[in-house]
Amino acid sequence: MTELNRLTITEARDLLRKREISARELTRACLEQIKLVDPKLNAFITVCAREAHEQADAADARLAAGDAPALCGIPLAIKDIYATRGVRTTCASRILENFVPPYDATVIAKLRANGAVFVGKANMDEFAMGSSTENSAFGPTRNPHNVERVAGGSSGGSAAAVAADECLGSLGTDTGGSIREPASFCGVVGIKPTYSRVSRYGVIAYASSLDQVGPFAKTVRDAAIILRDLAGADPRDSTCSARPVPDYEAALTGDVKGLRVGVPKEFFVSGIEPEVEQAVRAALKSYEAMGARMVEISLPHTSYAVAAYYIVATAEASANLARYDGIRYGLRVDGDNNIELYNRTRARGFGAEVKRRIMLGSFVLSAGYYDAYYLKGQKVRTLIRRDFERAFESCDIIATPVAPTTAFALGEKVSDPLQMYLSDIFTISVNLAGLPGISVPCGFDPQGLPIGLQLIGPPFGEEAILRAGDAFERTGAVKRRAAIL
């Protein structure tokens, strides 16, 4: 048998249920892989070996008793933005370096109840602000396909860990592309569900009207299995939808006949690497071959998305991050009075990008500038949402590239925030509109770096994009490549 850590969740689930493998040996294989490759990748901030073995033993007991939810005994990595009871949760920031939450995020509690095994807390950009995981206070994560390249961000550790077979699946969060872009850069599947589909309780807030929880996995089916366990109402998150959760795995019929695939003309313009465009266009061709129909659509306000996002997201971030004051939790650097204590704590605790966002956000919300920036940003957001509403009158899903480039070199964009912000040009509008979006591997560039196809659905259209993603995967056009480590 192949090394156990290389299995998909679907394969491992069957073998676990048949008792041909144990959760303990599966977990051990993942922890060994972490030991072997993580010194090169830095996908983890904290590895939870002892806890993982305990969870695996408990899972084996359940499996032996025939009580086996789909994720029972499956080793997962958790972005270090999720509160995990008793396990340090840093958000990749010095300000939370020693923070140990006394409670679990709702999705963590759900996965725990279903017997999942948490191998560790994954690296990320500090407070999820970034597109390359270079803004982590714990050093950058490297791309498993080429360690001189970034893994993407902000959930770079979660994506890299799956790509390098350090775990079978993982959790990330996506505020402007932070699941889809690293999934694309690392050659794995990542889905950002509809805003409100999954509870955000216990997920450290960045921009609350945009943040959403979602999984990474090696296949679309595996992502569907994880999402089914995450989604659903939560009395602790009033923004979370009570809509029943469909069986996402059952939606994977392989049938896309008659599916109308919208192709936005604004997404295939200058700035996109030719090999990225070629791979995405080839994927569109295979949808046509499977009986889907391409429809040209227009999303006319696309060019304003990045600007609107950086107003709305920073405004919300400046408010959300006000709580890190050195008093209640996290780092405290004493001063002669409270103001000095706040200043010293925040000056020492936050990294440069986080400070930049807090300043930008405070500026766009301040008296005299609110109307010119924040209010305008919100109006543009509405226009972007309406663009999608209109587009979905003539198509069922929308297909685009995930990012204009493949994984860039470490250090390449750190000194130019605007260039970094542009990595999310194709993903950000999806968050502004609250829609579901998935990244599915659709090829490799000549350097062997993965390329992602983005499929966007209407609100609560997760089944449609999962089905379409799975159908493409079944063509076998793209083979999963082992990481080069």
Q: Which C-beta is closer to ligand GLN: that of 300 or that of 417?
A: 417
Residue 290: which of 10, 480, 463, 477 has the closest Cα? 477
Q: Which residues bind ligand GLN (CB under 6 A)?
A: 128-131, 154, 174-178, 206, 313, 424
- The minimum distance between CB 175 and ligand GLN, in angstroms, equals 3
Strands (DSSP E) found in 48-197: 75-79, 117-122, 142-143, 146-150, 169-174, 189-192
Query: What gap in Å lies between CA 149 and CA 122, rounded to an integer?
Result: 18
Catalytic annotation, pick one of 154, 155, 196, 199: 154
Amino acid in the structure at residue 193: P
Size of the chain, expressed as the number of residues it contains: 485
Q: Which C-beta is closer to ligand GLN: that of 130 or that of 377?
A: 130
Half-sphere exposure at residue 174, Cβ-oriented, CA atoms within 13 angstroms: 37
178 is catalytic: yes
Q: Are 145 and 114 in contact (CB under 8 A)?
A: no
- The minimum distance between CB 479 and ligand GLN, in angstroms, equals 28
Cβ neighbors of 332 (< 8 A, separation 6 or more) are 326, 341, 345
376 is catalytic: no
Q: Which C-beta is closer to ligand GLN: that of 26 or that of 203?
A: 203
Catalytic annotation, pick one of 22, 79, 170, 196: 79
Amino acid in the structure at residue 212: Q
- The minimum distance between CB 28 and ligand GLN, in angstroms, equals 32
Q: Which C-beta is closer to ligand GLN: that of 130 or that of 436?
A: 130
Q: With H, G, I as helix, E, B as strand and everything else as coil, classify residue 372.
A: helix
79 is catalytic: yes
- The minimum distance between CB 468 and ligand GLN, in angstroms, equals 22
Query: What gap in Å lies between CA 430 and CA 178, rounded to an integer?
Result: 12
Query: What gap in Å lies between CA 79 and CA 230, rounded to an integer?
Result: 14
In the numeric block, the tokens 């659903």 are attached to: 232
Q: Are 45 and 87 in contact (CB under 8 A)?
A: no
Catalytic annotation, pick one of 158, 178, 241, 429: 178
- The minimum distance between CB 374 and ligand GLN, in angstroms, equals 16
Q: Which C-beta is closer to ligand GLN: that of 10 or that of 154?
A: 154
Residue 191: which of 103, 266, 252 has the closest Cα? 252
Q: Which C-beta is closer to ligand GLN: that of 291 or that of 411?
A: 411
- The minimum distance between CB 173 and ligand GLN, in angstroms, equals 6
Residues designated catalytic: 79, 154, 178
